[in-house]
A and B are shown apart, each in its own frame.
Chain A
Amino acid sequence: MEWETVIGLEIHAQLRTKSKIFSGAATEYGAEPNTQACAVDLAFPGVLPVLNEEVVRMAIKFGLGVSAEISPKSVFARKNYFYPDLPKGYQISQFELPIVGKGHIEVQLEDGTFKRINITRAHLEEDAGKSLHEDFHGLSGIDLNRAGTPLLEIVSEPDMRSAKEAVAYLKAIHSLVRYLEICDGNMQEGSFRCDANVSVRRKSDSKLGTRCELKNINSFRYVERAINYEVERQISVIEAGGTISQETRLYDPDKNETRTMRSKEEANDYRYFPDPDLLPLVVTNSMILAVQDDMPELPGQKRERFMTQYALTAYDADLLVTSRALAMYFETVVKESKAQPKLTANWIMGDLSGALNKANLDITESPVATTQLAKLLQRIEDNTISGKIAKTVFEAMWNNEGDVDEIIDKQGLKQVTDSGAIESLVAKIIADNPEQVADYRSGKDKLFGFFVGQAMKASGGKLNPQQLNQLLKEKLAG
């Protein structure tokens, strides 16, 4: 039996504002519990919400980033339910009229092809607080620091057909919100999280299967694993003659399984209605135009430009545009060094990225500044050092041992380009190794590498490789 998987994602991106969506309290992560909750967040009697205008600009930015319609009028509604970490007894969200309407994003799949994923809507809402069930001796602790933090909920169409596609989409949105600087994308801290709606159907079916909503998947890896587990589960239920019932399921990363959280029958009736404390949100054309002026180049556009402007391969361009900071680092180095873009890309994606990963650092935290890397590339291109020696220099730069030229000088790494000096070294090596010379001359071409190695060893790797090759060939030819 051929099965098809159908997936839609609901992504919650926490907007990077200084203060909350409806109050002046700070949103910073990691503060002492309940120190960042004011009277409004605590829902004291008489308080009223006032919309933070920054969140509106951020939502518009996202809307423009996915070519979506921005609603001229959207409405905040109350989603009513009781929970201790929801102080008002309702969450202010948008229901019937969201600020961002239909849009789409191009997502690159593993085989390099692109697929368009449609976005149904994106709406603004406030986050709830946190309930802490451990360390309270059977009781629960409530931390309301997060209550009222602005969220943008991004809802996709059920356009994805595999867990890998879902991850690719999630990554594309993740990269976009960071490019737009509206969300820090930190999944561990929960500022970027997603729920997945998963169903399966026989390939011949035109109707969608019954879906289950998976909650609590807070990393790219877990998204893939949770969906794959759920797909397997649903198929085996149906193949065993059972039916899938619509429900919300929780993903347990430790056991790598999903389990029932609540069934459809247990689902809350949220009794949505327009929040009478907030007027309809009106977005004017001039607001949209102002945001448009402020829009950065998006990952897709940047990728295209990198390929044409710098003659990079699609592979290199893709890697470089994963984050705005990385792309900016690349462009700055190219500009400062006037080195070949390909060489620059290789260094950034190779040695620099490797070192950063090992040290668990972000490009913005790189100990090697763009000016330093640019200088290093200049020294390669002007033949002061060879590419191989450059790795030694880079290591010293990474360890903060000083300026590129200083390191080259101090460690005596300057490449030998004086042909007289190279000639005498070559002559010495030929004189010292008569057997090998004889073998070479009798046809053992492979021994050429031996002579190169000897020369480099004797010089500490500082000989200009092209010059050495040429001279060696001449002298060995006799």
Chain B
Amino acid sequence: MVYKTIAELSQDLANKKISSVELTQQFLDRIERFDKSLNSFITVTADQALAEAKNADAQRAKGEAGPLTGIPFAQKDIFCTQGVKTSCGSKMLDNYISPYDATVVKQFKKAGTVLLGKTNMDEFAMGSSNETSYYGPVKNPWNLETVAGGSSGGSAAAVAAYLTPAATGTDTGGSIRQPASLCGISGLKPTYGRVSRYGMIAYASSLDQGGPMARTAEDIALLMNTMAGFDTNDSTSIDYPVPDYTSTLNDSMKGLRIGLPKEFFGAGLEKGVEEAIQAAIKEYEKLGATIHEISLPHSALSIPAYYVIAPAECSSNLARYDGVRFGHRCKEPKDLEDLYKRSRSEGFGPEVTRRIMIGTYALSAGYYDAYYLKAQKIRGLIREDFSNAFDNVDVIMGPTSPTPAFKIGAKTDDPISMYLSDIYTIAVNLAGLPGMSIPAGFVSDLPVGLQLIGDIFQEPRLLNIAHSYQKVTDWHTRIPKGF
């Protein structure tokens, strides 16, 4: 039962093959059994989950069930959950219980999902390997010595190990797609503004976007039906009609124009990954798609631009963690300055501190024009690159990550090489576009992800393209050994 997709579980619940309480208990048992080795959850809300499952069953008995009623689910620990610890992977918020629900959390509650717990993540979503978490790294179910990716590594590993059918993630520079790729699951970063950011703890506000992580494109479509939409509490969310994402899943691939950016297939791309991606593209050709080489000339600038803009915004977003109103406060501060300095240096880990320092510097008087303004200009150029490309193709494809999962500890002393693992994903955030990663094979027994990039609000098309591939391949159905 636990190996089924949401679409299948939804049927089983509707046909009374299983109750939500039973299903929930099965997942809780698996979490209990496997998560000691994976470390994918920060908080497991077992009692609450069973109570919610009971409610879901009652609702179903009354004939008021929707497609997600009673489906067990996990939230990345970046989404605020009322009455439940919301740590954002940081010591700073280790003692923090949110007084309110994020909009996304409310949406899933309303849809009747059952919250199993809160998943592990890089501290304040800053990281590509989940190693910056205060709660320790998440292990990749495909090889416990390798990373799960980040920052939504807990969600990716939990879904890959069948500890939950699905989870939320957030993606600022690749944080949904890269761990989805490394753990062999499907993940969608929607168009910026498509999913509400209210109650999603901010890292870099102009780039952050929440999205679903699950095993199949079909499940992601079901989750998007719940998550997408305008929110009056988020001024950057966009008031644009929400389609039924499942209704176009089976559209034809005939005549689909796929663009392959030459910049995504150059130096740095591991050979095995490239082969898997080329094989996946062959599948699309068989389905009737045409392949076009394109260029995204400013791709190389996306990492430097990102590492100015994201830290600049984070340096300001994280100023509220000052030990005054909530979160970590140092013991016996001497005075105000001591309170600030010690609370913050004790509460934040080294990667967060590094980005706050970079961002503070980039915004300083005399440097603002050279760094922040220039980075914004590059952002404009990157957006233009994509816009030009979409004049001629319907979707852009390439690898999600240049390598499969790497060893835990392999890159922790080399931030630059860590930053480079997001080289294919970051530009998508800078341009505000929707992007997806879907399982597309294995290299040395580790999953490889295929990235799909669409024009704004083209999520239905991306899901249709992903689903078409999943109908003719079985990568997304594999189960890691031992799970």
Contact = CB atoms under 8 A, between A and B. Distances in A.
Given A271-B360, A271-B364, A278-B235, A47 B199 contact: yes
Contacts of B313: 276
A277 B80 contact: no
Contacts of B388: none
A387 interface: no
A44 interface: yes
A45 B96 contact: yes
Contacts of A89: 316, 318-320, 322
Contacts of B236: 48, 276-279
Contact of A142 (B79, B100, B324): B324
B213 to A, nearest CB: 19
Interface stretch (A61-69, A79-87, A318-326, A345-353): A79-87
Given A42-B325, A46-B102, A271 B316 contact: yes
B205 interface: yes
B383 interface: no
A89 B343 CA distance: 14
A398 interface: no
Contacts of A278: 235-236
B232 interface: yes
B319 A48 contact: no
A269 B198 CA distance: 29
Contacts of B325: 42-43, 87
Interface string B215-240: 00000000000000000111110000
Contact of B235 (A42, A45, A90, A277): A277
A80 B363 contact: yes
B232 to A, nearest CB: 7
A246 B58 CA distance: 71
A104 B198 CA distance: 41
Interface in B324-364: 324-326, 336, 340, 360, 363-364
B49 interface: no
A44 B99 CA distance: 9
A269 B201 contact: no
Interface string B197-217: 111111011100000000000
Contacts of A50: 232-235
A91 to B, nearest CB: 11
A45 B363 contact: no
Given A80-B319, A89-B316, A48 B99 contact: no
Interface in B284-337: 312-313, 315-316, 318-320, 322, 324-326, 336
A45 B316 contact: no
A83 to B, nearest CB: 8
Interface string B454-470: 00000000000000000
Contacts of A49: 235
A44 B96 CA distance: 10
B273 interface: no
Interface residues of A, number: 28
A246 to B, nearest CB: 15
B319 A277 contact: no
Contact of A46 (B80, B232, B340, B365): B80
A82 B319 contact: yes
A44 B319 contact: no
B100 A39 contact: yes
B316 A46 contact: no
B364 A45 contact: no
A448 interface: no
B346 to A, nearest CB: 16
Contacts of B233: 48, 50
B99 A39 contact: yes
Nearest to B197: A48
B316 A80 contact: yes
Given A46-B98, A80-B363, A269-B364, A51 B326 contact: no
B86 interface: yes
Contacts of B320: 43, 45, 87-89
Nearest to A269: B365
B198 A48 contact: yes
Nearest to A89: B319
Residue from the set B96, B99, B324 with the largest chain A CB neighbour count within 10 Å:
B324
Interface string A126-170: 000000000000000010000000000000000000000000000
B198 A45 contact: no
A90 B317 CA distance: 9
B116 to A, nearest CB: 21
A84 B200 contact: no
Contacts of A51: 235
Residue in B88, B316, B340 whose Cβ sees the most chain A Cβ within 10 Å: B316
Contacts of B27: none
Contacts of A276: 204-206, 236, 313
B235 A46 contact: no
B3 interface: no
A3 B377 CA distance: 49
Contact of A273 (B96, B199, B235, B363): B363
Interface in B57-105: 79-80, 86, 88, 93, 96, 98-100, 102
A38 to B, nearest CB: 9
A97 to B, nearest CB: 14
Interface string B228-254: 000011111000000000000000000
A249 interface: no
Contacts of B100: 39, 44
Contact of B98 (A44, A78, A87, A279): A44
B205 A277 contact: yes
Interface string B262-274: 0000000000000
Nearest to A76: B235
A141 to B, nearest CB: 12
Contacts of B363: 80, 271-273
A128 to B, nearest CB: 13
Interface string A86-110: 0111100000000000000000000
A371 to B, nearest CB: 47
Contacts of A82: 319, 322, 340
A51 B233 CA distance: 10
Nearest to A90: B316
Contacts of B372: 273
Contact of B80 (A45, A84, A279): A45
Contacts of A277: 202, 205, 235-236
A21 B79 CA distance: 25
B234 A46 contact: no
A45 B93 contact: yes
A189 to B, nearest CB: 25
Nearest to B238: A279
Nearest to A37: B325
12 contacts: A45-B201, A45-B202, A46-B201, A48-B235, A78-B316, A80-B315, A84-B336, A272-B368, A273-B363, A276-B206, A276-B313, A279-B235
- Give the 5 A-B residue pairs with the shortest CB-CB distance, closest first: A89-B319, A271-B363, A276-B206, A276-B205, A46-B199
Given A45-B88, A45-B202, A45-B326, 14 more contacts: A44-B99, A45-B93, A46-B79, A46-B80, A46-B198, A46-B199, A46-B200, A48-B197, A50-B232, A80-B363, A82-B322, A84-B322, A87-B320, A276-B205
Interface of B: 79-80, 86, 88, 93, 96, 98-100, 102, 197-202, 204-206, 232-236, 312-313, 315-316, 318-320, 322, 324-326, 336, 340, 360, 363-365, 368, 372
